[in-house]
Amino acid sequence: MFKLFYLPDTASLAPHIILNRLGAAHELVKLGKNDGSLEAEEYLKLNPNRRVPTLIDGDLVLFESAAICMHLADSDPDSGLLPPLGSAKRAVAYKWLVFMTNSIQADMMFYFYKERFAKTPEGAEEVKEVGIERVTTFMSRLDDALSDGRPYLCGGQKTIVEDYLLMLGRWYMQMGQEENLKSMAHLYALLCVLEDDHYVKATYEAEGCSPLFID
């Protein structure tokens, strides 16, 4: 039985979708941004960074969303949620997942937590603008990759990479970048496909998220 500590529509969304996709037994623990639950002593023992997500799997305690997604896929190797171990496609999945968490998601923090990266309100606004520019450049790399007609980032197989992509696509929309995203036609089309998915819809319902790409 897995236990996932989450906040709606945040970095816990991809792990939550994957838990549902796997049909894995899990308990959800909802935290609040402003209710002290992230700072609670018991939670800080699990995740000293005071962030979500955190996954508990028996004695194993994991933070970092991408690591959790990979562990969940590995917990059921027959699920096909990652290409076979040692294959070139597996390496490509690692590439996109690490690119998303290490470049796109990291730079999105400049937008969502701008005051943490500057000493003045003016500096924070500048950080936010730079964040939008950098994330837009990185998002366009995904659009470029998809422009060869492949249905998913790793080829013909939908993997955990796509659940991660949908999570970040939502945040990019929430950064007010709908127009930019629509101009990345291949990427936008994939996000529409990804949102129209039974497990995604079930997860949205559980977290109270509204669809952003389909009606």
Site for ligand GSH in 101-140 (CB under 6 A): 101
17 binds ligand GSH (CB under 6 A): no
Phi, psi of 73 (to 5 degrees): -60, -40
Tell whether residue 70 is a contact of ligand GSH (CB under 6 A): no
Q: Cα(154)–Cα(165) distance, rounded to whole angstroms? A: 12
Single out the segment in contact with ligand GSH by CB under 6 A; choices: 18-26, 51-59, 118-126, 139-147. Answer: 51-59
Give strand pairing partners of 213.
none
64 counts as binding ligand GSH under rule CB under 6 A:
yes
Strand partners, 55: 4, 62
Nearer to ligand GSH, 11 or 181 (CB): 11
90, two tokens: 């597996």
Q: Is 54 a binder of ligand GSH (CB under 6 A)? A: no
Minimum distance from residue 165 beta carbon to ligand GSH (Å): 14
The residue nearest ligand GSH at its CB is: 51
Closer to ligand GSH by CB, 94 or 155: give it.
Answer: 94
Give me the residue label for tokens 């049909």: 23
Q: Give the shortest CB-39-to-ligand GSH separation in angstroms.
A: 9
Radius of gyration of the chain (CA): 17
170: CB partners within 8 A, 6+ apart: 9, 13, 209, 212
CB nearer to ligand GSH: give 64 or 195. Answer: 64
DSSP-derived 3-state class of residue 27: strand
Q: Does 154 bind ligand GSH (CB under 6 A)?
A: no
Inter-residue contact 25 to 1 (CB < 8 Å): yes
Judged by CB under 6 A, the stretch of 5-13, 130-138, 139-147, 184-192 that binds ligand GSH is 5-13
Task: Determine, following the binding rule CB under 6 A, whether residue 51 of this chain makes contact with ligand GSH.
Answer: yes
Both tokens of residue 112?
A: 């969502």
**Size of interface with ligand GSH, in residues (CB under 6 A):** 10
A 10 A CB-CB count for 3 gives 15
Residue ranges that bind ligand GSH, judged by CB under 6 A: 7, 10-11, 51-53, 63-65, 101
